[in-house]
Amino acid sequence: MTQINLAAPAPQEDLQTVVQSRTREWHFHIYFLLQSPTEKAAALALRDAVLRLRRDGAFVAVPLHRVNEYPIGPHPAGSYEIWVPDSSFSDVFFYLATNRGDLSVLIHPLTEQQRRDHESRNGWLGKPWPIYLDALPRESDEVPLQYPELRLGWSSAVEDEISLDERRKRGAEVEALLAKDPDAAPAPTE
C-alpha cells in the first residue's frame, strides 16, 4: 500500500525573503467562447470599461491591444490579457470580480517561472478553464518586463521601496493598535 504524506511545508516567515520573493506584476486573462457573439461582446465591453477607468485614474491596468480570436499559447479560448502592477491589484481584482458577469478570468503572477505561475500560482474568477501548460517555458532567466515606462511593478525604483526597518516599525504599530481588540489574533511572541 502506498502512503501519501499530506503534511504541508512550513510557511516562509523570514521578512526579507518574503518581501524579496513577492510578485510585482499580474495578468488577468478574460476568457470568452469563440462561438458566442454575446460573450465576446461582453468581454470587449468589459475591456473598454477597464480602459475608461484607467484613463480616469481608478487604477493602473493595461489591456493588451490584441484580442485573441482563437486559442493561443496556453489559453484554450478567445481571450485578452490585462497587465496590472501590484499597486493596483486589489482595485482591479475587485472591479473584475463585481463586473465580469458570467465571464471567467484567469489571474496569475508574472515571474521567471511562467509555467508555475499558470499552473499552481493561479486563481480564477468564475469557472476555471483547462490551460495548455506545454506551451509555456518552465523557467526563464528573467521576469518578462512589461511597460517599464510606467516605473511600476518590476520596473519600480528601488528608492520607492519600503525598507525592512520601516516594515518592522509599521508591523509593530499595527500590533500595538490591535493589542486590546479581542477579535484580533496576536502575532506569536517567539
**Highest-confidence range of 34-43, 109-118, 155-164, by mean pLDDT?**
34-43
Is residue 18 within 8 A of residue 12, CB to CB? The reply is: yes
Answer yes or no: are the C-beta atoms of 85 and 60 closer than 8 Å. Answer: yes
Condensed to tens digits (0 to 9), the pLDDT of residues 88-109 reads 999 999 999 999 999 999 999 9
Pick from 9-18, 39-48, 110-119, 165-174: least confident: 9-18
Q: Cell 493588451 maps to which residue?
A: 64
Confidence grade of residue 10 (pLDDT, cut at 50, 70, 90): confident
| pLDDT for position 47 | 97
* Mean pLDDT across the chain: 91
DSSP track, 98-125:
HH-TT-EEEEEE-SS-HHHHHHTS-EEE
pLDDT at 126 over 70: yes
Whether residue 52 is predicted with pLDDT greater than 80 in this model: the reply is yes
Cβ atoms of 163 and 15 closer than 8 Å:
no
Percentage of the chain lying above the pLDDT 90 cut: 68
Contact present, 79 and 31 (Cβ < 8 Å) = yes
DSSP 189: -
- Does the domain spanning 21-157 belong to CATH 3.40.50.880? no
**Buried residues in 160-175 as b, exposed as e (16+ CB within 10 A):** eeeeeeeeeeeeeeee
pLDDT at 60 over 90: yes
- The distance from CA 132 to its chain's CA centroid, rounded to whole angstroms, is 19
The residue among 26, 64, 30, 60 whose CA lies nearest residue 143 is 26
pLDDT, one tens digit per residue, over 151-164 is 998 888 777 788 89
CA–CA distance, 115 with 108 (Å, rounded to integer)? 10
Which position has the higher pLDDT, 8 or 179? 179
